[in-house]
A and B are shown apart, each in its own frame.
Chain A
Amino acid sequence: MTTEIDMTALAVFSFFFVLVTVMGFVAARWRRPKTLARIDEWGLGGRSFGTWITWFLVGGDFYTAYTVIAVPALVYAVGAYGFFALPYTIIVYPFVFLVMPVLWKRASDLNYITAADVVHGQYGSRALELAVAITGVIATMPYIALQLVGMAAALRALGLQGEIPLAIAFIVLALYTYSAGLRAPALIAFVKDIMIYIAVIAAVALIPLKLGGYANVFAAADAAFKAKGSGGLLLEGNQYVAFASLALGSALAAFMYPHTLTGIFASKSGNTIRKNAVLLPAYTLLLGLLALLGYMGHAAGLKLATPNDVVPALFKTLFPSWFAGFAFAAIAIGALVPAAVMSIGAANLFTRNFWKAYVNPQVTEAGEAGVAKVTSLVVKIGALLVILFLPTQFALDLQLLGGVWILQTLPALVFGLYTNWFRAPALLAGWFVGFFGGTYLAWSAGLKPLYAVGLGGAPVTVYIGLLALAANIVVACVLNALLPAGDVAKAPAKV
């Protein structure tokens, strides 16, 4: 790829970037509450978002800039296996439909802001609350850092080298998130998602025309995989279980993250969430088509330094520069929305489950909002420093582990919505086994998400997150049955 600065593309890019920056600051006045100095106003938008705002917000926050770059990159590199993102983002919604309205109701009735609030209210255990909170924060941090990787890919394609443009974009983001809270990404998400839809629909409609149709795109990819001797249009026999278990494990983990839960808790009602479980798959369709850009990269005969360049390079080579600028702006803005929501989710956890729990239990509502605002700044600057000073691979490895980790909070968070049988010590032991066992397996597999399990016959490769979750649940059930019943199960407590 050439790295000269294309002025037309840069002008279009700058226009949209300035537009969303203004929107980010104006958002503090949008749907204005009496005060923003309460954590449920700053950090959850007052729990007032209806169907459409939630659709844009969760869509903008779940299908991130990194997704837009990384999914086609994986499909470009390995073929069918990279497509697991599609079944993953389909089967996540029946789960959301059934579970998340129940979780929302619990949180709304008892004024919970975070997953760890829900767990503390259910089990009255500070230790389990802390485990869930820490898991949430450390799983989110590398995810924020990866949004920067997505943004950097778009900036590089514009010819903006070096770290200063990235740092400026992120600091601007940090400032308006500080002032407007969740209202900022919610408002920006409208622009971001519409831009992404336009860019992707144009790409999947027009690029194949230039490349001789979809049949030709698939044939070119097939030829490239055969020439390379790895990857392919179909899964190998030994990839079936890996593909399915990655899809299932990722789907169960997706709505355990602080940023997705923030979108859930910010909804107006359980029904808003159910409607979104019906409507959000529109983004999945987009993601499935977007993934095919990986194959279009082969058909266009791109020569890439890294697979992560496949999407920017396609736009750059096949579209006029004004449209390339538009698409790169969509990707860069696409990084801002999830990064903002992630930092808010992490800040809410820190404030409620560490600051209020250990440092200042008497903190006022305004004090909570103040701590959360400052924490969101610290979190974003931390992620920026990680990307500037540590190798990108570090963030990638941590994000992969983050998926394994966050999945281990599912039993503590979800089981209590349906049964009072479980008690904190058993769930904590299950979390411990899942968290450290999963980390060990991933580590011993060379920081890969898959582990080969020998079951007598040929080993079966399974997603480590799912293996760890199984161990987690077994340990929790067995210990809960064995441990003497301590205090009587009590109704969830109001915070």
Chain B
Amino acid sequence: MPSSPNGYLRWLLIIPYIGLLWVPFYNRLEPELFGFPFFYWYQLAWVPISSLLTWIVYRSMRHDD
């Protein structure tokens, strides 16, 4: 598959699954940010992080389709 992601970089995409599916990482109130308990801002922060990781993998690919 010519347009498949680069072999190594592709593994970046597993990081959001680990960060979000292992609940003990973030099921707490402290530290707060802008009044948001940790549980909430941690998960919201994963939106841009996950998007960025996907973009890095995207950039590593040839786009011929």
Contacts and interface: CB of A to CB of B under 8 A. Distances in A.
B21 A91 contact: yes
Interface stretch (A80-88, A143-151, A182-190, A419-427): A80-88
Interface stretch (A28-36, A232-240, A339-347, A479-487): A232-240
A80 B50 contact: no
A432 B35 CA distance: 48
A277 B5 CA distance: 14
B39 to A, nearest CB: 6
Interface string B4-47: 01000010011011001111100111001011110110011011
A248 interface: yes
B28 A234 contact: yes
A382 interface: no
A235 B24 CA distance: 10
Contacts of B16: 90-91, 94
A281 interface: yes
A215 B31 CA distance: 12
B15 to A, nearest CB: 9
A323 interface: no
A247 interface: yes
A285 interface: yes
Interface residues of A, number: 41
Nearest to A241: B23
Given A105-B65, A269-B65, A288 B47 contact: yes
Interface string A255-290: 000000000000001110011011101001100110
Contacts of A178: none
Contact of A271 (B23, B24, B37, B63): B63
Nearest to B15: A94
A98 B21 contact: no
Contacts of A243: 23
A218 B54 contact: no
A247 B21 contact: yes
A93 interface: yes
Most chain B CB inside 10 Å of its own CB: which residue of A97, A244, A270, A285: A97
Contacts of A281: 47-48, 50-51
Interface in A72-111: 80, 83, 86-87, 90-91, 93-94, 97-98, 101-102, 105
A97 B58 contact: yes
Most chain A CB inside 10 Å of its own CB: which residue of B28, B37, B47, B53: B47
Contact of A94 (B43, B50, B61): B50
A214 interface: yes
A93 B63 CA distance: 19
B28 A87 contact: no
Interface of B: 1, 3, 5, 10, 13-14, 16-17, 20-24, 27-29, 32, 34-37, 39-40, 43-44, 46-48, 50-51, 53-55, 57-58, 61, 63, 65
Interface of A: 80, 83, 86-87, 90-91, 93-94, 97-98, 101-102, 105, 213-218, 233-235, 240, 243-244, 247-248, 269-271, 274-275, 277-279, 281, 284-285, 288-289, 292
